[in-house]
Amino acid sequence: MAHNSPAKKPSATPPQTESRRKFLGTAAAGTAAAVGMGFPAIVSAQTPISFRFQSTWPTVDIFHEYALDFAKKINDMTGGELKIEVLPAGAVVPAFALLDAVSKGTLDGGHGVLGYSYGKQNALALFSSGPAYGMDANMLLAWFKYGGGKELLVKLYDSIGGNVVSFLSGPMPTQPLGWFKKPIAKAEDLKGLKFRTNGLAIDLFTAMGAAVNALPGGEIVPALDRGLLDGAEFNNASSDRLLGFPDVSKVCMLQSFHQSSETFEITFNKDKYNALPDKMKAIIENAVEAASADMSWKAIDRYSQDYVKLKTEDNVKFYKTPDAILQQQLTTWDDIVAKKAESNPLFKEIEESQRAFAERAVSWDMDTNNNRRMAYNHYFARPAAKKS
């Protein structure tokens, strides 16, 4: 005779719920253990850090676009944990007051050039002015990173109490001699000319006889238009076109040694920068180099386009600066450097470091790289028309 087993009472808790509770209980215990051991099990979202930057460029200039490009890289790479807002020149302080504003913490950072701080310490301009012993701007960046330049800039800022962390970025191509009412055929044509430049180029053009006035980018064309200047240089085909140079001049002299190796400077207030997590500092350092490469590629594309537009749409006539003027620039520069080095030990130290690096790097470059003009003429120069 079969015996019926007693009926089981239904469980008060469904198996799925019981399993879920065990899982949650185990997870909670694990979290508590992790916290007890000092390891956070769950990373909570941090409040984004906001930095306010200012550039030394008007919004219309491609240089301000480069500043925005850099900020976007930081914002994207940190996933919004660090957000940089970039304002144009004059939004908080005048362009030439950027270093003071960043050093004091009025601004968290900025995008400019070292030549604009020339008045603080003339050796600063060695990072942006002059022939740099034949180096182009990319070589100067190589010296800055690998040849001791970065350490020298830190030393330089420490000497003047600059409370900033500085990064160099963005190799600029050789800058034009400038925009004029008529072509500059000989060095004597510069004598008495009311001319705009900045940095140690002030000393160079002054020694060559010009009456120099240093103005920020946004003020140059109005000064030319009002006759306050007879000539001026700024930087490149895109910037010059956007700022309106072809509206006040139709003559541009290409090639010069006054700024043949200039770069941008990205600065952070030192206290604000040092307070950042190491991860963000690493992102910033890498974003500087990424922005530098991107800027150099964008410059080739945009400058070459605007160079064509200046000639074909704006009717600008370009002339190569005569070799005699270029040679006089080099000779004059030698005198300026020698005098500055006599009274400024840091100037001498930086100049000697650049010279030693350039002797090796420029020799290698000239011996190794092809002559681009030969290849260009082969592919693009038009053959002379045949006589009938």
The answer to whether 233 is a known ligand-binding residue is yes
Label residues 23-52 b or e (16+ Cβ within 10 Å = b): eeeeeeeeeeeeeeeeeeeeeeeeeebebb
> In angstroms, rounded to a whole number, what is the distance separating the alpha carbons of residues 277 and 285?
13
Query: Which are the contacts of 309, defined by CB distance < 8 A and separation ≥ 6?
Result: 241
Contact 299, 173 (CB under 8 A): yes
The answer to whether 234 is a known ligand-binding residue is yes
**One-letter amino acid identity for 192?**
G
User: For the residues of 195-213, what is the DSSP string, one character each?
Assistant: EE--TTHHHHHHHTT-EEE
The answer to whether 51 is a known ligand-binding residue is no
Residue 54 three-state SS: strand
The answer to whether 175 is a known ligand-binding residue is yes
Q: What's the Rg (C-alpha) of the chain?
A: 29
Rounded (5°) CA angle 262-268-272: 170
List, as residue ranges, the binding site for Na(+): 234
List, as residue ranges, the binding site: 175, 196, 233-234, 259
List, as residue ranges, the binding site for substrate: 175, 196, 233, 259
